[in-house]
Chain A
Amino acid sequence: AQSVAQPEDQVNVAEGNPLTVKCTYSVSGNPYLFWYVQYPNRGLQFLLKYITGDNLVKGSYGFEAEFNKSQTSFHLKKPSALVSDSALYFCAVRYTGGFKTIFGAGTRLFVKA
Chain B
Amino acid sequence: NAGVTQTPKFQVLKTGQSMTLQCAQDMNHNSMYWYRQDPGMGLRLIYYSASEGTTDKGEVPNGYNVSRLNKREFSLRLESAAPSQTSVYFCASSELPSGEGSYNEQFFGPGTRLTVL
Contact = CB atoms under 8 A, between A and B. Distances in A.
A99 B107 contact: no
Contacts of A49: 103, 105
B42 A105 contact: yes
Contacts of B114: none
* Count class of interface residues, chain B: 20 to 34
Contacts of B44: 103
B64 to A, nearest CB: 16
Interface in A69-101: 90, 94-101
Interface residues of A, number: 26
Interface in B48-105: 48, 50, 58-59, 90, 92, 100-103, 105
Interface pairs A-B: 4 shortest CB-CB: A43-B108, A46-B105, A103-B42, A103-B43
